[in-house]
Each structure stands twice: as structure tokens, then as C-alpha cells.
Structure 1
Amino acid sequence: MKIINVLIVGVGGQGTLLASRVLGKLAEMKGYACKLSEVHGMAQRGGSVVTHVRMGDEVFSPIIAEGEADFIIAFEELEGLRARHFLKKDGELLINRQQIMPMPVIIGVKTYPKDIVAKIKKEGINVLDMDALSIANECGNSRAVNTVMLGLLLRRLCVDKESAKEIIKAVVPAKLLEVNLLAVEKGYDYYN
């Protein structure tokens, strides 16, 4: 298998690290090598979190170079905008239409960009967008945004739905399993 590069971006508390563990488990189940690199920034304060995931037959470096990501999974709009330069020309940006105001916006020294998804699409980038927060709320837990988005990503990676659920079962804590199984299924079926 060629190397698949997935960049996961969000803000602290959105579950980017759990998402990377899910992809690591996918690689393990498929018998692929996998390298992860996590950049936390001020994650505990709602700051950016970026996780590089590389999987394939042979993977030597955990870092995805600019212009080399097959997929970017963005749990928040502005983080997707900031990370788009990592995407390959034929890559896909999977973006949650959720806006989490960063501190400079909250204190009034900056403004949050308008029409982020439309702007990215205008640049010719392949975008699949969804309101994963609303879907997660329908599933019973707003914190399942990451799992909704993972469902979409796993489908784009050609993982069958039952295998996607098995991966979630292997990684997600038992007390959160029911809502996350529903979330991964809804994300998987979103563009059906």
C-alpha cells in the first residue's frame, strides 16, 4: 500500500488525539506501519491541535510535508482554513461547519473570517463539509464530533462500515461506546 497521509486539526478538547488513535488502530488491523506526531500548542485553553498520521507498508517519518496530505480532517472551520496548504492537489478536506472562537476574537482584537468553507471551495480544493456538531447532538453527545468526522473519513478510505465500527469498539471507552458507534455510522452514511 502506498503511504496515506492524514492531517487531523481542531482545537483542544475536540478529540483529535482520539481520532489519531482510531487511525493507528486501523493501520494495525490492516497490518500497515503507522507513525503519529501530535502538536498540542495551547490545547488545554482551546488552542490549535494538529496531528499527523502516516500509514502504509513502510513509513519512516511521522511528519506530513506541505502539499502531501491525502486527507485533512478539520473538526473546526478556521483550523481547516489554516491547514489547507498541507493538502495534495487531489486531496480532500473533510471539514466540520463549526466555529469555535479563538481568544483574540473573544477579546475583540481580531474578527473570525466569514464564509470559510465557500472560500476554500473557491480555491479549487476538494471539500466535503458537514455539520458534525448537529449530528453528534442527535447521537446524544456533542463531544462525538470527532467520531462523526471519522465515519466520513473511514468511508473515504474505503473501510467497510462493520470494520469502522470494530475500530471504534477497540479504541473508545465502554461508557461512550453506544453514542460513538451511532456517530461513526452517521458520519459514514452522510454523503450516501
Structure 2
Amino acid sequence: MTVNCILSGVGGQGTVLASKLIAQAAMDKGQNARTAETIGMAQRGGCVVSHVRIGDEIHSPMIPKHSADVIIGFEPAEAVRCLPYLKKGGVVVVSRKAIPPVTSSLGNSSYNGSEMIAYLQKEVARLIVVDGEKISKDCSSAKVLNVALLGAACASGILGLSMDELKNAISKRVKPQFIEINSKALEKGALAAKMTVPHHT
């Protein structure tokens, strides 16, 4: 069995670290894992998409369209942008808070993400919306959004990884002084997913 996971966000949100945590947890279980990134503008604010594939037979790290079991969207518009990758019946985990793209901030756009969330609610069989901003405040760090979303994805059951397996990966991949705060964010993300009423189209 192969698990295909797309993580989409903007530069500076920790998308790549999140993909490495998933891969680390899978490899620690003895599974094969491959990751690849496609990065837009090479700067903070540019779009970043990470592909993570876990399974016995993985010939390419890149996930074909209509094949992703889960999309973890660090930002609503970035989640929508990656929807063509999602397979029928797949799961989308998305942070509610919008980050206006560089181009719209120049044009004084009123984008706030709510239209994108509404679109996802119409198009996605299983949608988990996470209040990443609240979790970041609870953890006193804006840098834990990536791990909070991982916690939500883990709680959905789609990744095939346990919370303990992800916490172990955090202990290996994150600097010692940040392990506790990231473990807390993981728990809060999982709790947020469990409190989300499943949305079915």
C-alpha cells in the first residue's frame, strides 16, 4: 500500500520540514519514503509544494494528478491550487488563515481565504479546517503551524502514522529547545481534527 501526501504552502511556513517529519516517521517504521519539492519564487512568500510518498514500491517521488490521498494545505488558496492532485474520496487538511500572495498585497486585494474554504467544502469529500492561528497563539509561536497540521492529518488516520511515531520524528529532526513546543502543537492539531465535524460533499 502506498500513501501519497501533498503539502502546499508558501515560503517560510515549514512545508519542507513537515514533509521530512512524515518521511522520517515512515522510515523509522521500516517503510520506504521519498520526498520532492517544487518551489515557485525562491523567497519567503513564494509557493512551495512538497510531495511525500510512503510505500513498498515507489518508483518516482512525484505524485501523479488524481493520486494524492491527502493534501495538507498551509494556506487556503495553496490547497485549492493543488486540488487536481487529490484522488476521489481523498482528505484535505487546511489552515483557515489566508496569506495574501505577494502580487495581491501589491494590488491591495481583499483576499481573506473564506472563498477558498467555501470552495473546498463544495469540492472535497473529507475536509478538516484547522485554526492554525489559534494554535500558534496557544503555543506562543507562529512557527508551529506545520506541525499542528501534521497532527490533524495524523488524527484523520490517512497517513498511517501514530502520534508517537511523529513525536519521535520531531525529536530527531527538530532542535532540542523546540521539541516540547512542537509536540504540544502536534497534540493541539490532532485535537482540532477530532473536533471538526466531518464535511462530506
Query: Which TM-score tier does this pair reach, normalised by the shorter chain?
Result: over 0.9
Q: What TM-score, normalized to structure 2?
A: 0.89
Is the contact made by 1:12 and 1:48 (CA closer than 8 Å) also made in structure 2? yes
Calculate the aligned-residue CA RMSD, in Å.
Answer: 1.6
Q: Is the 8 A contact 2:26 2:161 kept in 1?
A: no
Q: Specify the SS of the correspondent of 1:159.
A: coil
| Residue deviations 1:87-132 (CA, integer Å, cap 9, x gap) | 0001101000011111221111766365211111112442111111
Where in structure 2 are the equivalents of 1:1-192 lying within 5 Å? 2-108=1-107, 112=111, 114-155=114-155, 156=157, 157-192=159-194
Residues in 1 aligned to 2:47 and 2:99: alpha-carbon distance in whole angstroms:
11
Answer yes or no: is the 8 Å Cα contact 2:92–2:124 preserved in 1.
Answer: no
Q: Contact between 1:42 and 1:48, CA under 8 Å: does it hold in 2? A: yes
How many residues align? The count is 191
Deviations 1:128-178 (A, max 9, x none): 111112112201211100010011112222433322321211211112112
Deviations for 1:1-52, whole angstroms, at most 9, x for unmatched residues?
Answer: x110000000000000100110110121111111111112114131100000
Deviation per residue, 1:40-76 (Å, 9 max, x gap): 2114131100000011012110110110000000001
| Paired-residue identity, % | 36
Structure 1: runs of 5 or more not aligned: none
Of stretches 151-160 and 72-81 in structure 1, the one that deviates more from structure 2 is 151-160
> 1:13·1:43 contact (CA, 8 Å) conserved in 2?
no
Runs of at least 4 residues of structure 1 off by over 3 A?
none
TM-score (norm 1): 0.93
Tell me the amino acid that sits aligned with residue 89 of structure 2.
Answer: D
2:197 aligned residue: none
Where structure 2 has 5 or more consecutive residues not aligned to the other structure, the ranges are 195-201
Rounded to whole Å, the distance in 1 between the matches of 2:168 and 2:133 is: 23
